Amino acid sequence: MVAGFLYLNALLYAVLALWCTVKPWATSSSMGYARLDPGGKSEYLVVYGGLQLGLAVVFAYCAWAGELRVGLLLALALYVPIVAYRLVTVARFRPVGATTRWVAGLELALLVASVALWLVEPGARP
Q: Where are the domains of the chain?
A: 2-120
Specify the pTM: 0.86
pLDDT band at 94 (very low <50, low <70, confident <90, very high): confident
State mean pLDDT over 28-52: 84
Average pLDDT over residues 94-115: 92
**Are residues 67 and 35 in contact, defined by beta-carbon separation less than 8 angstroms?**
no
The b-or-e profile of 96-107 (16+ CB within 10 A means b, else e) is beeebeebbeeb
**pLDDT score of 112 more than 80:** yes
Which helix H or strand E contains 94, and what residues bound it?
Answer: none
Sequence-distant (≥ 6) Cβ neighbours of residue 104 within 8 angstroms: 83, 86, 90, 96
pLDDT in tens, 33-42: 777 788 888 8
Distance CA 8, CA 110 (A): 10
